[in-house]
Structure 1
Amino acid sequence: MKRDRPARHLLGATAGVAALVPVYYLTEAAARALRSGNAAFGPAPAGLGYLAAVAVIVTLLTAWPAAALGCGVPLAAAGLLFALNLDAAIAMAGTLPWARAGGLPWSWPDGPPWAEMGEPPGTLAGMSGLYALIGALLVLSALIPGRLRSILDR
């Protein structure tokens, strides 16, 4: 049982890094839906749905410290970059997939615009501190003592 511990950590880190993409884009979709609802002075049920999906993924990741770190450290770093150097963060977000299309992976060409001109995916959630908050929570969840941890890490 002890010999396969490094393999379990590697598998957990891989799962965390794989979860980074949906968490990143779902968080941005939630921020944009909430902004649209705020601008229209109306409810934003899509924003709540996207945030609920992020909450489910984050809850699953917190059960496995390696996965929480694999997703949390890059998110916290992105949040820190947005807090410290907004221009560099926006330039970095502009290099991500789907940034040139001006939308999110599931946006459609004739539908509502997901991004303002020159606003790549990740900008709104990064500027609002969502990435820093989610990343910090994931990293802190990985620091919980082993006796309080889920059976997934035993």
Structure 2
Amino acid sequence: MKRGGQLLAAVAGLVAAIPVYYLTDAAARALRGGTVAFAPAPSALAYVAGVAVLVRLLTVWPVAALACGVPLTAAGVLFALDLGSAVDLAATLPWARAGGLPWTSGPVPWAEPGEPPGTLAGMTGLYALTGAFLVLSALLPARRRPLLGG
């Protein structure tokens, strides 16, 4: 890949980190809501599927996978090692106090009071797992990478 292509892939990976972060958070919240209500959570499946599609697309370009995976892994490690600092940092993110994520609607609030976006997904290790998967996929030898990326 040429230098311009690598830069574009890195930018795409950084930009993709935002929806992966928020979709993972939405999936964790929907799963919690389904568990609390002892009911199915089809929206959780949709959010997880969205994350899976984005992650699969990112694994095609190793630079993009690294650019997205490293921040997600760092977020996961921060949640695992210093929950207070991670929650404080998450409270500074966009939509943390706006009352809802752009794709959520309905009378049910998207977050528990005082719980910034990413808290549940961070505490459960979803960011660390997703980020580590992306980083490891980027470090695999070329012959073991996904078929689409070659």
Q: TM-score over 0.5 for the alignment?
A: yes
Quote how far apart the aligned CAs of 1:106 are: 2.4
Supply the AA of the counterpart residue of 1:58.
V
1:59 to 56, 60, 83: 56
Within the alignment, does 1:26 sit opposite 2:23 as a pair? yes
Alpha-carbon separation, structure 2, partners of 1:112 and 1:100: 15
Letter in 1 for 2:89: M
Instruction: Please say if 1:39 is aligned against 2:36.
Output: yes
Match for residue 140 of structure 1?
Answer: 136
Paired positions, count: 150
Q: Which residue type is aligned with residue 97 of structure 1?
A: P
Deviation at 1:116, TM superposition (A): 0.8
1:123 aligns with 2:119: yes
Q: Percent identity?
A: 65
State the partner residue of 2:96: 99
Would the aligned equivalents of 1:76 and 1:133 in 2 still touch at CA under 8 Å?
Answer: yes
Q: TM-score by structure 2 length?
A: 0.94
Q: Give the C-alpha shift of residue 125 in structure 1.
A: 0.5
Secondary structure of 1:140 counterpart: helix
Equivalent of 1:79, from 76, 80, 101? 76
SS in 2 for 1:111: coil
CA displacement at 1:151 relative to structure 2: 7.2
Distance 2:38 2:104 in 1: 23
Q: Mind listing any 5+ residue stretches in structure 1 that lack a counterpart?
A: none
Q: CA deviation at 1:92?
A: 0.4
* Per-residue Cα deviation, 1:109-150 (whole angstroms, up to 9, x for no partner): x52111111001111100110000000000000011123335
Q: Structure 1 residues 111 and 143 mapped into 2: Cα distance closer, same or farther (>3 Å)?
A: same
Please tell me whether Structure 1 or Structure 2 has the larger radius of gyration of its CA atoms.
1
Per-residue deviation, 1:107: 3.0
Gaps of 5+ in 2: none
8 Å contact from structure 1 (residues 102, 119) kept in 2: no
User: Following superposition, which runs of at least 4 residues in structure 1 exceed 6 angstroms of deviation?
Assistant: none
